[in-house]
């Protein structure tokens, strides 16, 4: 992975981390996109410098080729003119340029390969940023959906905690009902026991409370007393 890809990935990771904590995802995503654009622009400037160096090396290489060819032609002209010594000197100069040309050729090939690779990385970064821009709305929607889901679970948790209050109310209601039943039982028991008095007297009082015996019953009672001599 090139230095530019690493820079882009680090920025992308930072943006993802920010998304996890942000309140307004659209604002943070717009800032992340601006940061990516800035990173790509800086990367392009660096690549432009590399391209300029590669072009300069290529120009020097072409110049050395031309010089080599020129001195070879001069050597040929000197040899045709019968000046062999001058031809040798011209060939020596051509050799010097050929040596420089060989060194520059190696440098240029290396620089060109590096520039081609950097160009690919710039294109890749641009594609990744374009994809990021296309998916911005989707990422925002996902973030909001996750927040809604979180809110739902928190609401459920609060409702679950409120069950404690419901349980307390149910227990208090059951206790009140029990006390009501106990009060009814106490009343019933009080009526049965008569408050601790003579049960027989209570019974006769109850008979008296019924409005008194009938005339027929009184006549029979008088006859019973006469028979027993208790009248």
96-141 pLDDT, tens per residue? 999 999 999 999 999 999 999 999 988 998 888 888 888 877 777 7
Indicate whether 68 pLDDT > 70.
yes
Rounded CA-CA distance 36/21 in Å is: 20
Residue 216 scores a pLDDT above 90: no
Q: Tell me the average pLDDT of the chain.
A: 78
pLDDT of residue 213: 57
- Spans of all domains in the chain: 3-134
User: Mean pLDDT over residues 30-52, rounded?
Assistant: 88
Can you say how many angstroms the Cα of residue 143 is from the centroid of all Cα atoms in its chain?
Answer: 6
Looking at residues 196-200, what average pLDDT do you find? 56
The span from the CA of 98 to the CA of 177, in Å, is 113
Residue range 64-69: mean pLDDT, rounded: 95
- Note the pLDDT of residue 107: 95
- pLDDT of 185 over the 50 cut: yes
pLDDT the model gives residue 4: 47
Q: Is the pLDDT of residue 165 over 70?
A: no
- Among the listed ranges 97-111, 176-190, 202-216, which one has the minimum average pLDDT value? 202-216
Of 10, 2, 11, residue with least CA distance to 35: 11
Q: What is the pLDDT of residue 206?
A: 60
Average pLDDT over residues 46-50: 89
Contact 43, 122 (CB under 8 A): yes
CA dihedral (201, 203, 204, 205) positive or negative: positive
**pLDDT computed for residue 7 by the predictor:** 45
Q: Tell me what percent of the chain is helix, strand and coil, each rounded to the nearest 5.
A: 90, 0, 10
């Amino acid at each position: 992975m090139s230095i530019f890809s690493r820079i882009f990935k680090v920025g992308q990771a930072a943006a993802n981390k920010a998304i996890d904590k942000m309140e307004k995802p659209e604002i943070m995503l717009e800032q992340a996109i601006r940061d990516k654009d800035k990173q790509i622009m800086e990367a392009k400037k660096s690549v432009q410098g590399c391209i300029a160096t590669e072009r300069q090396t290529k120009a020097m290489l072409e110049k050395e080729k031309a010089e080599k060819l020129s001195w070879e032609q001069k050597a040929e002209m000197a040899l045709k003119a019968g000046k062999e010594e001058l031809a040798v000197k011209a060939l020596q100069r051509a050799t010097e340029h050929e040596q420089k040309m060989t060194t520059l050729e190696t440098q240029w090939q290396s620089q060109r390969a590096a520039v081609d690779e950097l160009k690919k990385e710039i294109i890749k970064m641009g594609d990744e940023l374009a994809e990021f821009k296309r998916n911005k709305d989707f990422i925002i929607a996902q973030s909001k959906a996750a927040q809604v889901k979180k809110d739902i679970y928190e609401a459920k948790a609060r409702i679950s905690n409120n069950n404690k209050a419901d349980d307390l109310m149910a227990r208090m209601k059951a206790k009140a009902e029990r006390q009501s039943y106990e009060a009814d039982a106490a009343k019933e028991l009080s009526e049965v026991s008569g408050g601790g008095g003579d049960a027989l007297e209570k019974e006769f009082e109850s008979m008296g409370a019924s409005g008194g015996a009938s005339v027929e019953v009184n006549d029979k009672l008088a006859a019973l007393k006469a028979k027993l001599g208790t009248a």
